[in-house]
Structure 1
Amino acid sequence: MSDTDSATSASADARVLLSTWANENDEWVRAIVRGVLSTGRALVAPYVDDVYALFRQEKALDARTLPKEPPLAVAASPAESDEVLRITSLSEVTGVNALVSGAVITPHEGLTILYGENGTGKTGYSRLFKTLAASRTADQILGDVSQATASAQGALITYDLGTAKHRFRWSGETGGVAPFTRMSIFDSPSVNAHVDADLEYVYVPASLALFNHVNAGIQAVEARIVADLAALATGASALLSRIPRDATAYPLVETLGASTDLDTLRALADTTGDVDERIAVLQKAVAALEAGTLSASLKAQQRVSRVLTQATLVAAGIEAFDVDAYNTTRTIMAALEIDYALVRTELFEAADLPAAPDDTWKTFVEVGESYRQHLVTAGAHDENRCLYCRQPLGERAQELVAKYADYLADKIGAEIAESRKSLAMATATVASINAPEVTAWVTELADQTERPDFYAHVASIVSVLDVVKASTSSGTAVDPELTARVAVAHAVLTAHLAEVGGEVKVLEFEDANRAEALQTRRRELVELTAAAELGRSWALIDIQVKNAKEADRLTVLARPAPTLRRAVTGLSKIASDALINQSFATYFAEECGSLRAPSLKIEYIGRDGSAKRRKVLVKKHRPSKVLSEGEQKVLALADFLAEARLSGISAPVIFDDPVSSLDHRRINEVAARIANLAQSAQVIVFTHDLAFTMTLLHLMEPSKRCAYFQIDDEEGKGRVTRASHPRWDTMSGLKKNINGTIAAARAEEGQARAALVRTGYGWLRSWCEVFTETELLQGVTQRHQPAVHITQLGKIKSGALPAAIDPVVRVFEEACRYIDSHSQPLTTLNVAPTLAGLEAHWAELQAARDAYIHADD
């Protein structure tokens, strides 16, 4: 390294950059940087509390008690290194998708291939590794969704960390588990992130993490400032909730702050000792006005006024009734009636009346007289004829009619009629006196214990009225003392009526002005309540104003924090460019070259102390908008491998189906890169691509740093079998199938046997192909093998080939006639194979194989 390079490296060293920058800033900033540099980790809460205390004292918010923070000594970062992590086994997997239990994977320290077709269970193991590593594309691991009850999630992972051996029992933890978080994992879902996203580095050197920790420390101090600001503001809201919103003091308290005029606010406060009593009085007055009790009182007094008015009218009516005249007229009329009866008896004693001259008879006479007068008026009366029968009247009849006339003209009768008229008028006057409201009021209060003082007088008037009405109605005498009682009651009620009338007028006036009175009382209550609260809370107000002044200062002091964080981010970009970006650019260029990935521009960006990278093509286009799917895949692989190399690759690198969407040439290039990586690191590959698998096995053959596992679902998803290469048809497997088919055909007849025989010929045809590949030609060329094994040519028994080739070719051609995949000529289309023929051909082939195997014996 040149002197210039050394100087550049030193100037980009994280500890040097941070120390130099901190010494140019406030004490509390130096305290944050000192704490981060001394521990290499994020600051713990108690330490941040101490830094915040230093911040407050340095800014004169609190009294200074802490010592001055000295400048930081500048020291370069120590070299970083990680112990090598190697997975040695994965076993006892439960509750992961539908994987069967019992599988064991023992990864090689070089390359481990986990091969299986789609749906055989590879994804379950891949998801487990991604969860342990907290991969960018890790997703939730589900149990077997086809089962009603899912098994508990678990797995046993053994691993080496350096020279120490460890065991970890996974129980479903998510979010990554150290040290497995050091593993690098690539899969198809991560392609978009590696191609288009503004991607943070998975590996961040410890020295670069210092910038994140410093920024986190600054943010923690900011958070405490925000918390203090919130606490300083709570007092105002608490006080404000106790002040009525429409009080004069409310807007002053609402804007309580550093600029508040305390003298103006103090003038509105009330600290007198009786303020609570005055509030209580106002509250009662407001409650009464709000409840409408004034209107109720007015209505009650108006009713009393009506009752008293009606009672005085009744009393006046009773007093106007002349009891003496009534009683005198009644006495005179009684005497007249006696005299009248006597005169009537004497007058008609000799008249030979059919019955005594009673009232009915009198009515008869009066009606006759009325009819006579009618006839006189009409000019049709004849005194010599009877009014009723019109017969001529005799002498005696005329005498009787004359007596009738005398009777009707009698003075006593006239006096009686006049007396009755007088009594009727007196009775009618009394009967016309009605007091329904008075009567109802007296009845309503009769059973109550609390009654007005004048109740007895009103009840007395009602009682007298009832007695007078009853007497006049029956024609009996009326007690003169009753009117005297009424006169007394009348006088009392008149006085009460005047008093009640005055009260009614007052209440009517007050009720008419109740709304205005209510508004006035409410306003008085609001202002007095606010004044009392101001008086009780004056100490709080004083503190709040001080808090507001402190909050203003804190707000100003907090403003430089974002600038400080941006400065740390700038320092981080300088350091990351030297420590990460330049190395990444070199690694990325190398990987793009080995994988033939498209060339593009990488932009390095940084935010909040984090280093990120972005890939763009010309005109700032995202790569995914221009590149094909295959080009995106190799570009993502190049980005992934370059990122993995930043950490020195001291942990497993895992690939999950890395060659999907790639052509044959790119598959070979990816296989070559993975094989090269596996020479120095532990690499695990999940794949279902057979050509890719065979290429990897071929590339790893010289170093033998490879383990191959077959994953299938023959006995449940995720069964793992250790093998040397992917499974294909074997001689032993085919032999077993042929013998089984022949045995089954022997047990059947007709069409069932014919179908089994055809199946048997299909197996014979496959046997001929595998025998030719593996034994006649000794595996020089085989299906799925990427190369020709020239070294195997010497093992071919050329002398025995003709004897073996003849039966193999004949039986192969015969078998082709009977399998469905070959078309048949019409002449042989309906010629069915026989079981005997199948058995004979199988015996011939086995004999040919035995002869070839033992040709040199």
Structure 2
Amino acid sequence: MGTTTAARIDPRDLLSEWANGSDEWVRYIVRNVLTGTGPLNADQSAIAYALFRQEKAFDARELPTEEPLATLESVEEAIEPLTLTSVSEVAGVNALVAGGVIEPHAGLTILFGENGTGKTGYSRIFKALAASRTADVILGDIEAATSLPQSALISYTLGSEAKTYTWSGGQGVAPFTRMSIFDSPSVSFHVDDDLEYVYVPAALALFNHVIAGIKTVQSTIDRSVKELRSAPNGLLTRFSRNATVYPLIETLGASTDLEYLRSFVDTRNDVETHVGDLRRTVAALEADTISAEIKVVQRVERILSQASAAATVIAGLDLDAYIRERETLRGLLDDYRIFRKSLFEAADLPTEPDDTWSAFITAGEAYQGHLVALGVHDTERCLYCRQSVNDEARTLIEKYSQYLDDKISVDIDASRARLQALTAPITALVVTDAATFAAEYADSADKPAFHVELSRMLKTANTLSELLSTAAPVTPALTKHASADAGGLSVALSTTSTQLAELKSQAATRSDTLAAKKKELVELEAAVELGKSWTAIEAQVKDTKQADRLALLAKPMPGLLRTVTGLAKTASDQMINESFDALFTQECAALRAPTLNIEFVGRQGRAQRRKVLTGKHKPSAVLSEGEQKVLAMADFLAEARLAGITAPVIFDDPVSSLDHRRINEVAQRVVLLAETTQVMVFTHDIFFASTLLSLMETSKRCSYFQITDEDGKGKITRATGPRWDSLTNIKKNINETIQAAKTQDGDARAALVRTGYDWVRAWCEVFTETELLQGVTQRYQPNVRMTNLPKIKAEALPTAIETVNRVFEEACRYIDGHSQPLPTLGVSPTLAGLETHWAELAATRSAYLSADN
């Protein structure tokens, strides 16, 4: 399926003509791409950018002028053919057993195995090597205790040179990336996606190299702009944020008015002396002790506030009321004890009624109230033992209630409350800070004037608090100085507050002076620093102006790239798309794929294709699964043929979801491809495999491997195939078996003779299928070949049938697959009988073939 194309314009001429109308730096890129036939290296990219800068007057011109490009001679692409010779020593791939060897034929190699036998593991190796669009992640044996590293030994020839490569799990290994692989997951890519071509002619790849070169210059410009605009010169850190010039330095850029900024520079000869004097003045103001003194006085004010408040509370204590209420409470408690004793004299209590006993009675009353609230109190039963109470016990219980409801108890509680109200202000006093202050000056000779009153107040407060908290007696002598202490501390507090106000007023005046001098110092230092940094400032402004120019010159870059993309699309239409369109049409016809339109799209110099049906529908939305499969295969084969296939083509289960007719069409296309190309087919479809073998029977350019899981996943054996029994092969086996039997005696000869009859039986079956019945019906074939029915030689059939059937029955007696009755079980076949029967069959075949139809 070849195709011819008309003479086309060389893409090199397109690039040269376009470059001659562009800038010099663009011409430099194109010239180096065309002469080197590859992308620019790092040095060439650097020169392209340098030429851009010199051409645009950023730098002095040093590089030579780029002259217009002349038309270049076309360069023919030469690709050495790649042929796989063996795959062995596979380890760490899925659960494949070790020892499997695949020796692909130079023509067609069929790897047949049922689902789950391990075919996928081998196909994944090829996909990884080729970096196939559908390459899977390869796992090791997930059930193994330890996983082995992935590896395989690949033997191949490149041109005429034999080579080996040890694969260790890598993706995309040259030259295996030239292999073309088709599998079911790739169908969606080939049917619906906007696909880039796997093969790009070297001449067309030049556009990508030119685009890459322009993008390199573009990215270098972008990087330079970024660096120029964000150069870390540290200028801003040299100036105080409070200086007037700080915002001007912060916004330095191409629009900065340097003359205005320069007006802030202090050019006086003695400016450093002024800076020194001002710094000393500020330091003197900052070293002032007023702030520290204010803190000390603030603390004293806080201590006196606490102490004065405490002294006032102590002075306000009504000691007479305390003494009276304390005596009242004592009298009530005595009366209470007398009442309790007299009330329970006849109660037969185990001990005198005391406070512990009172608590017991109170608890019982509370429990009784709880039962009453729940509605379960029983007045006839004891609260504790739950026994019935008699009159005597009921009388005692009534006395309990009388005791708890007595007025004396109420008076005692009221007296205690009054006593608590009198003493609470004293017992609640907090004088921790005052006590700490007094302790600090206890041993000091330089005590504050109020220390006597403070210490006495603290002592009185501590003593009173201890006595009043236990309702102990207090003598008037303890508080005789309380009023004097309160007055003294109050006067000291007032004096201290006045002193603090004066200090704060002085500090405010000094702060204003210090702030003014500091501002003056900041401005003077900024003016001096501005003069010192002027060179760096001018450089930064220059850099930002250059960055703006570069950014402006970078704006046409996308337009340049679009122009090259347009040239690439023109060239790809001529070099790839038109050829692909013709090849795709051929493949669709061969595979009876649906008719549809191909749109050729391209971006950034990439050649792409898209398939659509009428109305711009995606094929997958309309076509059946089988139609999509053959459409994808047509796309795949057309793409593979674009450059002329020079590497293996691999099909992984290509006929799943296809009917028998399409399987036959795919098989014919695969066989046609295998006449000139190394083809490998992984399949579990027995009809497909047998069809391939049948089609390859004449050329013999075929190897068949059986993949099973009998001794572990991926067990590989070379086989004759599910339907590879030809008369020629069987004839050879019979002759070789007869010759081997002639060299043996006894049991060895008998075993070989039985094997010979086994082959004779197979010969009879194949002869009947292929020649007597002319292949009208054959095993593993999907259809009855009715067109072959007239080829059967009906008149010669009876004689041939008699001989073949008789020898077939005789052969069945001697093979192990048929059991025999006892009378014939001991009859052994003879070599002479085998030779005679074989001669009869040969003569019968010769006679049948020579008979007229």
Question: TM-score under structure 2 normalisation?
Answer: 0.65
Find out whether 1:110 has 2:107 as its counterpart.
Answer: yes
Within 1, Cα distance between the matches of 2:824 and 2:514? 118
Alpha-carbon displacement from aligned partner over 1:109-151 (angstroms, at most 9, x marks no partner) = 1111111111111111111011111111112211111112111
Q: What residue in structure 1 maps to residue 315 of structure 2?
A: none
Within 1, Cα distance between the matches of 2:812 and 2:433? 136
Q: Say if 1:222 and 1:561, in contact at 8 Å, map to a contact too.
A: yes
Q: Say if 1:283 and 1:525, in contact at 8 Å, map to a contact too.
A: no
Aligned with 2:640 (options 638, 644, 648): 644
Aligned with 1:799 (options 790, 798, 802): 802
Q: Residues 806 and 132 from structure 1, CA distance in 2 versus in 1: closer, same or farther, beyond 3 angstroms?
A: closer
Aligned with 1:62 (options 59, 62, 72): 59
Question: TM-score under structure 1 normalisation?
Answer: 0.64
Within 2, Cα distance between the matches of 1:112 and 1:602? 33
Find out whether 1:538 has 2:534 as its counterpart.
Answer: yes
> Partner amino acid for 1:144?
D
Output aligned runs, 1:471-550, within 5 Å: 504-510=500-506, 534=530, 537-550=533-546
Output aligned runs, 1:418-817, within 5 Å: 444-445=440-441, 447=443, 504-510=500-506, 534=530, 537-726=533-722, 773=765, 782-785=778-781, 798-799=801-802
> Partner amino acid for 1:588?
F
Q: Residues 584 and 123 from structure 1, CA distance in 2 versus in 1: closer, same or farther, beyond 3 angstroms?
A: same
How far the C-alpha of 1:726 sits from its partner, in A, is 2.4
Within 2, Cα distance between the matches of 1:791 and 1:691? 24
Output aligned runs, 1:259-408, within 5 Å: 259-268=255-264, 272-273=271-272, 275=275, 293=292, 295-299=294-298
Aligned with 1:17 (options 4, 14, 17): 14
Within 1, Cα distance between the matches of 2:654 and 2:434? 109
Q: What residue in structure 1 maps to residue 41 of structure 2?
A: 44
Within 2, Cα distance between the matches of 1:280 and 1:699? 107
Q: What residue in structure 1 maps to residue 217 of structure 2?
A: 221
Q: Residues 58 and 768 from structure 1, CA distance in 2 versus in 1: closer, same or farther, beyond 3 angstroms?
A: closer
State the SS of the aligned residue for 2:230.
helix
Q: Say if 2:282 and 2:514, in contact at 8 Å, map to a contact too.
A: no
Q: What residue in structure 1 maps to residue 478 of structure 2?
A: none
> Partner amino acid for 1:111?
L
How far the C-alpha of 1:153 sits from its partner, in A, is 1.2
Q: Residues 841 and 626 from structure 1, CA distance in 2 versus in 1: closer, same or farther, beyond 3 angstroms?
A: farther
State the SS of the aligned residue for 1:724.
coil
State the SS of the aligned residue for 1:173.
coil
Q: Residues 104 and 725 from structure 1, CA distance in 2 versus in 1: closer, same or farther, beyond 3 angstroms?
A: same
Task: Extract unaligned runs of 5+ from structure 2.
Answer: 309-431, 456-491, 727-757, 841-853
> Partner amino acid for 1:663?
D
> Partner amino acid for 1:60?
A
How far the C-alpha of 1:532 sits from its partner, in A, is 6.7
Within 1, Cα distance between the matches of 2:629 and 2:287? 81
Within 2, Cα distance between the matches of 1:288 and 1:582? 93
- RMSD of the alignment, in Å? 5.1
How far the C-alpha of 1:215 sits from its partner, in A, is 0.2
State the SS of the aligned residue for 1:148.
coil
Q: Residues 204 and 513 from structure 1, CA distance in 2 versus in 1: closer, same or farther, beyond 3 angstroms?
A: same
Q: Say if 1:591 and 1:641, in contact at 8 Å, map to a contact too.
A: yes
How far the C-alpha of 1:77 sits from its partner, in A, is 2.1
Within 1, Cα distance between the matches of 2:836 and 2:49? 91
Within 2, Cα distance between the matches of 1:75 and 1:462? 110
Q: What residue in structure 2 maps to residue 136 of structure 1?
A: 133
Q: Say if 1:807 and 1:844, in contact at 8 Å, map to a contact too.
A: no
How far the C-alpha of 1:163 sits from its partner, in A, is 1.2
How far the C-alpha of 1:641 sits from its partner, in A, is 0.4
Within 1, Cα distance between the matches of 2:658 and 2:177? 29
Within 2, Cα distance between the matches of 1:841 and 1:96? 56
Within 2, Cα distance between the matches of 1:153 and 1:693? 30
| Identity over aligned pairs, percent | 52
Within 1, Cα distance between the matches of 2:768 and 2:124? 44
Output aligned runs, 1:152-191, within 5 Å: 152-174=149-171, 176-191=172-187
> Partner amino acid for 2:89?
E
Alpha-carbon displacement from aligned partner over 1:423-482 (angstroms, at most 9, x marks no partner) = xxxxxxxxxxxxx9999978634656xx87xx699999999xxxxxxxxxxxxxxxxxxx
Within 2, Cα distance between the matches of 1:574 and 1:778? 55
State the SS of the aligned residue for 1:104.
coil
Find out whether 1:32 has 2:29 as its counterpart.
Answer: yes
Within 1, Cα distance between the matches of 2:434 and 2:159? 114
Find out whether 1:146 has 2:171 as its counterpart.
Answer: no
Q: Say if 1:130 and 1:137, in contact at 8 Å, map to a contact too.
A: yes
How far the C-alpha of 1:505 sits from its partner, in A, is 4.3
Find out whether 1:258 has 2:254 as its counterpart.
Answer: yes
> Partner amino acid for 2:185?
P
> Partner amino acid for 1:200?
E
Q: Residues 611 and 846 from structure 1, CA distance in 2 versus in 1: closer, same or farther, beyond 3 angstroms?
A: farther
Within 2, Cα distance between the matches of 1:692 and 1:844? 44
Q: Residues 572 and 460 from structure 1, CA distance in 2 versus in 1: closer, same or farther, beyond 3 angstroms?
A: closer
Greater Rg over alpha carbons, structure: 1
How far the C-alpha of 1:854 sits from its partner, in A, is 6.0
Q: Residues 458 and 288 from structure 1, CA distance in 2 versus in 1: closer, same or farther, beyond 3 angstroms?
A: closer
> Partner amino acid for 1:207?
A
> Partner amino acid for 1:169?
T
How far the C-alpha of 1:41 sits from its partner, in A, is 1.1
> Partner amino acid for 2:138?
I
> Partner amino acid for 2:298?
K
Aligned residues: 639
Alpha-carbon displacement from aligned partner over 1:228-258 (angstroms, at most 9, x marks no partner) = 1111122368444665667644443333211
Q: What residue in structure 1 maps to residue 199 of structure 2?
A: 203
How far the C-alpha of 1:85 sits from its partner, in A, is 0.9
How far the C-alpha of 1:543 sits from its partner, in A, is 1.2
Within 1, Cα distance between the matches of 2:601 and 2:433? 98
Output aligned runs, 1:73-112, within 5 Å: 73-112=70-109
Q: Say if 2:112 and 2:705, in contact at 8 Å, map to a contact too.
A: yes
State the SS of the aligned residue for 1:614.
strand
State the SS of the aligned residue for 1:604.
strand
Q: What residue in structure 1 maps to residue 312 of structure 2?
A: none
Q: Say if 1:286 and 1:522, in contact at 8 Å, map to a contact too.
A: no
How far the C-alpha of 1:103 sits from its partner, in A, is 1.0
Within 1, Cα distance between the matches of 2:694 and 2:716? 21
> Partner amino acid for 2:295?
A
Q: Say if 1:269 and 1:532, in contact at 8 Å, map to a contact too.
A: yes
Within 1, Cα distance between the matches of 2:100 and 2:285? 88
How far the C-alpha of 1:67 sits from its partner, in A, is 1.4
Alpha-carbon displacement from aligned partner over 1:69-91 (angstroms, at most 9, x marks no partner) = 12212114212221111111111
> Partner amino acid for 2:67?
P
Within 2, Cα distance between the matches of 1:640 and 1:232? 50
Q: Residues 585 and 286 from structure 1, CA distance in 2 versus in 1: closer, same or farther, beyond 3 angstroms?
A: farther
Alpha-carbon displacement from aligned partner over 1:689-721 (angstroms, at most 9, x marks no partner) = 000000111111111111111111111111111
Q: What residue in structure 2 maps to residue 354 of structure 1?
A: none
Within 1, Cα distance between the matches of 2:454 and 2:569? 110
Q: Residues 713 and 794 from structure 1, CA distance in 2 versus in 1: closer, same or farther, beyond 3 angstroms?
A: farther
Task: Extract unaligned runs of 5+ from structure 1.
Answer: 310-435, 464-495, 731-765, 816-834
> Partner amino acid for 2:115?
N
How far the C-alpha of 1:590 sits from its partner, in A, is 0.4
Q: Say if 1:671 and 1:696, in contact at 8 Å, map to a contact too.
A: yes
Q: Residues 217 and 280 from structure 1, CA distance in 2 versus in 1: closer, same or farther, beyond 3 angstroms?
A: farther
Q: Say if 2:303 and 2:433, in contact at 8 Å, map to a contact too.
A: no
